[in-house]
């Protein structure tokens, strides 16, 4: 692969990651809005792993975690995890844009971008 094709490849990947992050943001905002406004029967679901720690009593003294508690946990957890996903996608997009602009991959600023992704 020659240098111009590599730069075009990086530029396309940068735009694709930006578009994907925008799509995820819009989907999460729309889902939270419809859930809070009650305009739909949409519910967030999260299946926790079958570990004894998670399958013990719920907060209401019931045996096991109720479905309402799972939905509340998912409603809290899904937007946070998707925000982290959006951050990683945008940082990856910045890394690809850095390479598409012809800058060196061993520059300190590029290493900082990669470090942010890895720490996240």
pLDDT tens per residue, range 55-110:
555 555 555 667 777 777 778 888 889 999 999 999 999 999 988 888 888 888 88
Instruction: Supply the pLDDT for residue 37.
Output: 82
Q: Is the full-model pTM beyond 0.85?
A: no
Mean pLDDT score of the chain: 80
Question: Where is 29: in which H helix or E strand?
Answer: helix 3-37
Question: Which carries the bigger pLDDT value, residue 29 or residue 36?
Answer: 29
Q: Which residue in 85, 63, 60 sits closest to 72, CA to CA?
A: 60
């Amino acid at each position: 692969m020659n240098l111009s094709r590599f730069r075009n490849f990086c530029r396309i990947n940068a735009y694709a990651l930006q578009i994907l992050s925008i799509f995820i943001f819009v989907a999460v905002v729309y889902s939270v809005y419809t859930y809070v406004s009650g305009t739909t029967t949409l519910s967030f679901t999260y299946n926790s792993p079958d570990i004894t720690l998670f399958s013990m009593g719920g907060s209401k003294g019931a045996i096991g975690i109720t479905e309402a508690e799972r939905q509340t946990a998912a409603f809290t957890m899904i937007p946070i995890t998707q925000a982290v996903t959006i951050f990683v996608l945008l940082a990856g997009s910045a890394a690809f844009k850095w390479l598409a602009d012809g800058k060196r991959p061993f520059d300190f600023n590029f290493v900082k971008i990669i470090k942010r992704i890895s720490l996240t």
